[in-house]
Structure 1
Amino acid sequence: MTLTPSRSPCGALKATIAGETCLLRCSGAMYVVAHDVLIVADLHLEKGSSFAVRGQMLPPYDSAATLARLEDEIAELNPARVVLLGDSFHDSRSIPRMAEADRARLERMAFGRQWLWLEGNHDREALGAGLDRLPGAVIETLAVGTLRLVHEPRPGDQFGEVAGHLHPAAKVAAYNRSVRRPCFLTDGRRIILPAFGAFTGGLNVKDAAFSGLFATRPMAAALGRDRVHALAWTSLL
């Protein structure tokens, strides 16, 4: 399948994934146009408070910052469905640690639309125990047109798979130094989304964890401040 991304007026890349037109947004969210679905992966809410419990102090504002970015995406696109693609919470006790203001923000965002939490390896226990405190429903996987949404990418050529989990990041040389940015990774048949959370970091797409996931060399769609940059595999470090 030939991947031919084009620039959207909002700075996103418009790409066809398994026959579905998708907008790869600067925030790291993906919008499936024909189905009015917004997808984000790996929020890792309450990661800062999780580290604090273990004695490693981080600024306790990651959940608020992450939810504010998601709120901006929802305000702009007004999607009928929002799918959180797993690892939305960092550990099993994240939901009780959430500030009331952050839980109220979730309720406001979910109001009037379908809100779906897809289970990830970090938050399966949290979602099982805390759904009464959250809007929406918990699912294991979801079909959206020709796309199949999962948390962790499966090995081999998985046509239509949309996954997170690996936190892909692209590394390139620019201005006599290396630059590393979160990115989408796709060959037009499947796609791996960048982590959406404020404290999530990224794994270089040249890491062995990505080996064998794509039938052909994928494109990295790196997140910039106001646009997503399509990068050829051969340009990556």
Structure 2
Amino acid sequence: MNGCVFQFSGHSLTALGSGALWWADRRVLCVSDLHLGKSDRLARRGGLMLPPYETHDTLARLENAIEATNPKTVLCLGDSFDDRAAALSLTQDECLWIARLQAGRRWLWVEGNHDPGPLDFAGSFMAEVSIAGLAFRHIAQAGAAAEVSGHYHPKVQIKAGGRALSRPAFLFNASQLIMPAFGTYTGGLRSSDPALQQILGADMQAILLGTPPRHVPNLAL
């Protein structure tokens, strides 16, 4: 498995190179910010005309993560759809694909700012989820303990070959973990941004996505 094992709030977790989080002891696979249907929303609102393949690519990578881990529970940590209309725009084949991924396992949709409220998909829609002392919600709460969240699409700038590169990353300290965006068409917020610095502070660590994922114990790169 392409992953980096780390300790968080008394639990052993694995940051997968794809951007998914694997909790082996509980057989929970967590992904955040799929933003399915984003190309449809951008076209609908007169924005960039992007090739409408991101939903297929995102679902293919999610399927790979599920096949690699065989989870009992899949937890989608908000902004799974780019908006309500984007969810309705998915093709029948894409909806059936999601249904196949859901078969035989518990599927939890945490509500995000892009997709508040239940949608017409199987699974449970919840404002937040608590499992064995870890709180899963879309947007981090200031000063929260043992919290896993998404929303910010964190990235870290690194230097490689004399160039500055930006890599999606898990960001965390002793009590809060912010997931990278799993969706194909997603931007990101640098770890140096004041919003992330305010949440995670000087003790911020990172695990950069890739093969293999790279743990950065401090961000003085």
- What is the rounded CA distance, in whole Å, between the counterparts of 2:156 and 2:202 in structure 1? 17
Amino acid of the structure 2 residue aligned with 1:206: S
Q: What's the counterpart of residue 216 of structure 2?
A: 231
1:164 and 2:164 aligned: no
Amino acid of the structure 2 residue aligned with 1:76: A
1:107 and 2:84 aligned: no
Amino acid of the structure 1 residue aligned with 2:125: V
Match of 2:199, SS? coil
Q: CA deviation at 1:74?
A: 0.6
Match of 1:13, SS? strand
Amino acid of the structure 2 residue aligned with 1:145: A
CA contact (8 A) 2:19 2:31 kept: yes
1:189 and 2:175 aligned: yes
Amino acid of the structure 2 residue aligned with 1:101: D
CA contact (8 A) 2:58 2:182 kept: yes
Structure 2 unmatched ranges of 5 or more: none
- 1:60-139 pair list within 5 angstroms: 60-124=52-116, 127-128=117-118, 130-131=119-120, 134-139=121-126
TM-score, structure 1 normalization? 0.89
- Relative to structure 1, the CA distance from residue 231 to residue 93 in structure 2 (aligned partners, 3 Å threshold; closer, same or farther) is same
Q: CA deviation at 1:135?
A: 1.6
TM-score, structure 2 normalization? 0.96
Q: CA deviation at 1:93?
A: 0.5
Query: 1:185-231: per-residue Cα shift (whole Å, max 9, x none)?
Result: 0123221000000001211010011122125421110011x211112
Q: CA deviation at 1:48?
A: 0.5
Query: 1:163-186: per-residue Cα shift (whole Å, max 9, x none)?
Result: 000000010111111011000001
Q: What's the counterpart of residue 44 of structure 2?
A: 53
Query: 1:97-146: per-residue Cα shift (whole Å, max 9, x none)?
Result: 0011111110000000000100000011xx43x32xx1211011111112
Q: Percent identity?
A: 35
- What is the rounded CA distance, in whole Å, between the counterparts of 1:51 and 1:189 in structure 2? 36
- Relative to structure 1, the CA distance from residue 59 to residue 192 in structure 2 (aligned partners, 3 Å threshold; closer, same or farther) is same
Query: How many residues get paired?
Result: 220
1:17 and 2:2 aligned: no
Q: What's the counterpart of residue 129 of structure 2?
A: 142
CA contact (8 A) 2:206 2:219 kept: no
Match of 1:88, SS? coil
